[in-house]
Structure 1
Amino acid sequence: MSGQTRTEMNTGAVNGASSAFDVIVVGSGPAGASAALELGRCRRRVLQIDGGLGRNVGSRAAHGLYTRDGTSPAELRRVAQEQLGRYGVQTVTGQAVGARSVEGGFEITLQDGRPFRAVKLMLAYGMRDLLPEVPGLAERWGDGVLHCPYCDGWEHQDDRAVVYGGGNATHHMALTLQPWTRQVTVLSDGPSGFTPKQREDFDRLGLRVTETRIDRLEGQGTRLECVYFEDGSVLAADVMVLSPLQEPSSDLGVQLGCVQNGSHLRVSERGETSVPGVYAAGDLTGGPQYVVAAASQGTLAAIALNTALIHERLERRGVEFHKGPQQ
């Protein structure tokens, strides 16, 4: 069958439950797009549900991505959708709000009421950052306020950095920044909760710690220039780094009954959740939150899902299919 014929088969109107798919991929970020790409290349009938812009919408560029270092998230999304079309992957835009098991597979319902059914699901809707309610912080998220030195540390080497928060996560982040800059100040915005040993670590590295409450952040546009404190003092800074709390961007996994590890979905080595036929990849599974890592997880989970479809079809035909160590 030619590639043109295959595309014609898969790109008809997407109207709802009457359109049956092999796989529905919920999410269009690196994990979801990579999974949809791999499954499309496996000649599966794939529907991708695009819930809109992801966590990295405020970032100027994605880094550490082989051959695409420095490409903007918007451009990565554009190219991904263009390439998915080559393999007949259909995309609908909307928020997936309902998920349930049905005969022969699963049903996903969008916020506008449209239902879609598939034999298997790939959940890749990611996580949502819960940012501190500090005036001036949210609008600088992704530029003047960051969460990952591996993603953006090079662009802020030797800058005046402030690390927001207290406890173990902030201690870890402050020490992690050392290769990029030694100009680090820890701002706990109140009682820090640091242990005596953690304070000793900061002293040995010459890291200042202040527990004064923050009033606001200011700077030019989305850039950071100064931190203002409630006592009237001001600290010049070029970048703030923090590890925010997170929550899933959707409760579809909970609706389906998937077992969780904290706020993340528990998955097997093959990316399958505790619910047979439901797979998950990316930040949602608690893996490293890098574009390249999420993309890798999406690809590997897609291969496992496709292998499961192969096994099931052959078993229905009475064919014994050897399952190798990766299957």
Structure 2
Amino acid sequence: MDNAGTNDRYDVVVVGGGAAGLGGALSLSRARRSVLVIDSGTQRNAPAAHMHNYLGREGAAPAQLIRIGRGEVAAYGTEFLDGEVVDARPAEGGFTVTLGDGRSVSARQILVTSGLVDELPDVPGLRERWGRDVLHCPYCHGWEVRDTAIGVLATSTVAVHQALMWRQWSDDVVVFAHTAPAFAADDLEKFAAMGIEVVDGAVAGLEVADDRLTGVRLATGETVAREALVVPPRFTARAGFLAGLGLDPVQQEMGGEVIGNHIAAGPTGATDVAGVWAAGNVTDPRAQVISAASAGVFVGSMINSALIEEDVAAAVADRRASRVG
């Protein structure tokens, strides 16, 4: 849906039309703000057939949420452009946002909800099965693979946390040591206590039959039967277009390990650049769909509050000027 009119200046341009972006647009458009959502159609959870832990939408398809959300937001006057933002720059009274096809629009404020990219380890077959039986978040997919044979691909010591967490959903969990450093003795003791086996050696690929994961193939040629494989992605913020504003991603750490990057934002969603705000996975890689939507709604209200302050200050200045005249 591309319903942008002739307006080339908006109160807020929202970059990213996923749950966070639509949540922000809903909050802002209901506050009678002029809003444009620019969406590249590359939502992070698009490969998944269903989304979970979204109260009232449990088990719905991600595309269904986007379709319904767009319709709801459009009903309040929000406009949409389908395309990719490649640049954002300061301009008089706000910002200029440029798309890849050369179009540009102006905004008083920008809400960045462009999400992130899950960069997977270099193992053949992972990307094709991502979000199906190659998984990451147990709260998103654990119930669906409960009591099955689960593997954890270790690329760092974060695998310890992952394996112990996924053990909650199945008593058949195997850790593939792969490229992770040697596990500490106390971690191995935890594995042993929880019945988690460690398989040494690099993983070379996956075995698939009838469009289902059946095993993990080692570099030695041995195959370990598995029905699901937990893979730790690197979380990379979709934020290259912010470089012109001086906003660069910062490292995201977990347990002392760098697991990706994100755009830093405060509790209100404000970034280090006045007038630029962020919500959802671009600033919080751990956010699930429902929390991303909630964050978008909240940050939208914070943006409206900031715009009210601007409007009032301008009205006071005009009033003073008219009295002097």
Same fold (TM over 0.5): yes
Equivalent position SS for 1:289 = coil
TM-score between the two structures when normalised by the length of structure 1: 0.89
**Residue 152 of structure 1 corresponds to which residue in structure 2?**
141
Residues of 1 paired with 2:41 and 2:104: CA distance? 18
Q: Which amino acid aligns with 1:291?
A: V
Question: Is 1:225 the equivalent of 2:223?
Answer: no
> Number of paired residues?
306
Shift of 1:20: 0.8
TM-score between the two structures when normalised by the length of structure 2: 0.90
Residues of 2 paired with 1:241 and 1:45: CA distance? 42
Q: Which amino acid aligns with 1:234?
A: T
Deviates more, 1:199-208 or 1:258-267: 258-267
**Residue 12 of structure 2 corresponds to which residue in structure 1?**
23
**Residue 204 of structure 1 corresponds to which residue in structure 2?**
193
**Residue 57 of structure 1 corresponds to which residue in structure 2?**
46
Q: How does 1:166-245 map to 2 (within 5 A)?
A: 166-220=155-209, 222-245=211-234
Kindly report the root-mean-square deviation, in angstroms, between the aligned alpha carbons of the 2 structures.
1.6
Residues of 2 paired with 1:12 and 1:191: CA distance? 49
Q: Which amino acid aligns with 2:183?
A: F
Query: 1:82-135: per-residue Cα shift (whole Å, max 9, x none)?
Result: 111101111001110011000000011000000111100000101111111211
Equivalent position SS for 1:55 = coil
Deviates more, 1:232-241 or 1:61-70: 232-241
Question: Is 1:316 the equivalent of 2:314?
Answer: yes
Deviates more, 1:166-175 or 1:250-259: 250-259
Shift of 1:287: 5.2
Equivalent position SS for 1:225 = strand
Q: How does 1:85-164 map to 2 (within 5 A)?
A: 85-164=74-153
Equivalent position SS for 1:313 = helix
Counterpart of 1:268 (choices 259, 266, 269) is 266
Residues of 1 paired with 2:234 and 2:4: CA distance? 41
Shift of 1:186: 0.4
Shift of 1:304: 0.2
Q: What is the percentage of aligned positions where both structures have the same residue?
A: 36
**Residue 297 of structure 1 corresponds to which residue in structure 2?**
295
Shift of 1:77: 0.9
Q: Which amino acid aligns with 1:290?
A: Q
Shift of 1:199: 1.5
Equivalent position SS for 2:139 = helix
Gaps of 5+ in 2: 252-260, 318-325
Shift of 1:222: 4.8
Native 8 Å contact 2:146 2:169 kept in 1: yes
Residues of 1 paired with 2:233 and 2:184: CA distance? 20
